[in-house]
Each structure stands twice: as C-alpha cells, then as structure tokens.
Amino acid sequence: MKTIFKNALLLLSILPVYGQSVAPLWEDYVKAKQEGKTTYLPDFSFAGYRFSEEEIPDVSGWKHFNVTDYGAVPDDEGYDDEAIQKAVNAAEANYGGGVVYFPPGRYKIAPDRDRNKGIRISKSNIVLKGSGVGAGGTEIFQDSMRIGKRQFHFRPDLREEAKLTVITGNVPRETFWVQVADASVLKKGQNVVIRHQSEQFTRMYFDSLKLVPEWTRLFGEKGGMNIAEIHTIEKIEGNRVRFKNPLHFDLKTIPGTDFELYSHTSIKQCGIEDILFSGNWNSYPEEFKHHKDGIHDSGWCAVSMEYVEDSWVRNCIFRDINEGIFMRAAYKTTVQNVTFSGKKGHSTVHARGGYGVLIKHCNFNAGTHHGPGTGYGGVGTVVTQCSMQTDQNIDSHSGQPYATLFDDVQGGIFKNIGGPHPGFPHHGKYLVFWNFRHSSTFDFHYKFWNTEKRKNHTFARPVFVGFRADRKIIIEDEGLNQLPGKTVSPVSLFEAQLNFRLQNTPGDKKPYGQ
C-alpha cells in the first residue's frame, strides 16, 4: 500500500475546521470492548504512574533531607557530589525514605572525568526535589564530561529474578488471564515477568513479513525476539492467573521452549522533580555529530532509572546535555512536563524494555538527535501531547519493541530511528501514530519493510490515524491508514482509552483531575 501526503498542515491552516472526524478505529475499539472482543488497537491506557489511575503524589509532607545540611553549598566554586550522596544515604537509612531537597541555587557536580563516579539511589521512596526550574530555582550543573556515565542512577542493589512457573496455554493479545503449571508459587499483588526468546516464535510473530539474514539477533539457538513483559497479579483461581494489565502480544506456546514466569525486583515511588539539569556540553568546541565518538554520544549524561516502578520525572529541564533520561525495565513510570533545551545532543527519553512508560506534556526543544521513544523489547510505551522539532527523529531503537503509541505529537520524523542492523527491525507490531504531525524540511518516501536495502525506519505494519505532514510524504507497507490529512476525534487516544477504562471499571472511577 502506498499513500501520499502533501502540505496537509498548510491546507488545514487555511481552511476552517468546524468539526473533527471520529476515527473508525476508535469506534471499532469501543464496540469491541463493549462486546468483550479483542480490540485491534492495544489498550495504551495501562501506562504511567500507577497506570494513570492516581496522581503522582505530593511529597511536601514527606520527611525532607536538605542537601545543605550535609555540606552542599549552592552558588560557590566547590563541588557538591559527596554532600548530595550523603543526603541520599540519610534518606535511604530513614524508614519510609524521604525527599532529598535542594534549596534554590546552582549546585556543581563532576569535578573530574572519572566515569566510575556518580550519585547512586538504590532504595524505594526516594525523591530528588528542587525549588523550581526558573529564576530562583534549582540547577544541578555537571562540569566535567563522564563518558557514558549517568550522574543520577536509580537502581536496586540486588537484582535477583527466579523462575516461578510456566504458562501452559495460548493467550490472545489484549487479554488478562493466563493458565500456569503451578500457581501455588504466586500471590496476589506480585509482579512477574513473562520471558521467552526463540526463532520459532519470532517467525510466528512476524508471520508473512520477510526476515532478513542480516538481522542476526533474530536467529539461531540463542536468537529471537526477546519477550520480557512485566505484569502485576490481580487474581488467582486454581492455576488460572489474572493480570492487572493486558498482554500486548499473542502468546502461542512453542514446543520445547516455554513461556516462563519470573519474579521481578524493582524499587518503587522514586522521583525527580523541579530541577534544572545542565551540562558543559555547550562549551565543547564541536557541534553534535551522531556516533562521532563517546563525547558526542554520551559526554554529559544526566539520569538513569533502572528497574523502577510507580516512579516519575516531572517539572524538570535538561539543558546542554548529551543524554537526558535513560530507563531500563521501568514499569508504570511517568515523565511529565519536562523540557529538553540548549545545544543539540544524542538522546532525550529512552524507555529500554519495561512496560507502560508514559511520556506526557514534554517539549523537545533542543532538536536532540533521538527524540522520545523506546527500544529493545519495550512494551506499551506512550508518547502523548508532546512537541518535537522539525527534522527531529522519534526513537524506536531496534530490538523489537511493540505496542507503542505516538499520540497528539507535533513535529518529528522517521528518517533515522536508531539501533544496529543486527537488531532490526526497529519495531514489532502495533506501532500507532495517532494525530501525529510530521514536520520536515524535505519530502520523504518511507518504505517501512524494505528487505532489499537497509532502512532506518523498519516497522512491522505501523498504524496511522489522522496523520498530517507539512511536506510531501509517501508511506508504504503500513498496516492501516485512516483519515489522512485530518485531525481525528478523539484528539488523544491515550486520554480517551483511559477515560473509557476508568469509567467502565466497577466503582465508576474517573481519571484524576476530572
């Protein structure tokens, strides 16, 4: 299938829009839900802090650990790394954790280039909180480059995953119940990971789509699409287990290679808020060039959040940074009201693996090479109500993430998504662009499944609803394309699905803030 878009945004800016067309795919979704059938669209509403059913907590009543009480001095020439770590250690030693608080001022970190150094957070209920990102607020300035080292690193000390049981039957995508061999080792409220990797499943998953020999990570005894889908157990009936959140792939048992349930370890209720993170990248005498060297890719890196749950970054700015926020196996985590500014760098927000990372109301003003996105088995990532720059790439960093939503996003392109050729394709099935406004300097022809020539936008049948562009854009190999050139209703699929889910939940809960 080939579709051409030409100057759709210009046309829409000239003609008055008196109403929006309801997307047929949304009508199909509602009907299928009401009839108890499997929906074509994934249910993307299971994303964000506590699956967006509750607000991110107000931490003003938590116990505070003021970094100046541990030796930090703002607005001086000294470095505050040790004092910040001491405040973190004190909060971690306190039963129930606490807020590591930064009064107004500029705090310097990274006095040298030792990439083994950084500030480590390893326990739950630790929030780094500043005094705002504007005048009179808090700035944390990374002076020296530390190539590849994120300076604020959230990760549990011990990462022990044990095999618990195996799934014994097929499970359709977008459903919640699984049959296991032994449910006696499971309990309500427990987090588990569905794990599987095999070439046989991979070929079944991509069905009629041709796989290229150069995509070597998909093949062989240790190859295959890596499934690592995190779930919370909501109910157990005999050996039947119901999850809180749906599976986003069709689970079809493979003889000789089980779909296994593993335990999952994480730290919870960790956050960062009201801080401006800045780096010295702007003083480096070269403009950014992708993969030129370690300095360009990762000289100044700010935050990593690995194996976190119900956590967040909000109301922050990342300025003159090569890499902003890196997440690994994050679960039910939100990045909200965050701005990326200053000198162009390498990456902004990357959700590697994990389930249900929500990136909402963010502004990607620096035009950083990789905009927001996912990779390496990430599931249910949502980028909603965000703005990107003209010619800025979205991020889908190979390793077959699946069920990803770019929703009501202004700007961005698909030219150079990222990831090595052996890790292709960039994305599995159910990559959905909903009211996406493509903004580019040049015309583009996207062939999303090109098996003759390497293309850095290799997606498995992506879905477009309400796609618009300000240049001539040709797309091929899409899975579905509805109402091109129009703004569709609902404007935000994520918000509509969340409203629908919570208003049809026993107790008639409503989304927070409404």
| pLDDT of 418 | 85
Burial classification of residue 100, based on how many CB atoms lie within 10 Å of its CB (0-12 exposed, 13-18 middle, 19 or more buried): buried
Tens of pLDDT, residues 366-401 = 999 999 999 999 999 999 999 999 999 999 999 999
Peptide bond between residue 24 and the one before it cis (omega within 30 degrees of 0)? no
How far is residue 236's CA from residue 216's CA, in Å, rounded to a whole number? 39
Tens of pLDDT, residues 145-185 = 999 999 999 999 988 899 999 999 999 999 999 999 999 99
Cβ-proximal residues to 207 (8 Å cutoff; 6+ apart), any chain: none
| pLDDT of 8 | 40
The answer for 415, left when phi > 0, alpha when psi is -120 to 50, beta otherwise, is alpha
**DSSP one-letter code for 278:** E
> 347-352 and 363-364: which strand pairing?
unpaired
Tens of pLDDT, residues 176-227 = 999 999 999 999 999 999 999 999 999 999 999 999 999 999 999 999 999 9
Name the pLDDT band for 3 (thresholds 50, 70, 90): low
Q: Contact at 8 Å (CB) between 168 and 180?
A: yes
Q: Is the per-residue pLDDT at 510 higher than 90?
A: no
Bridge partners for 233 per DSSP? 243
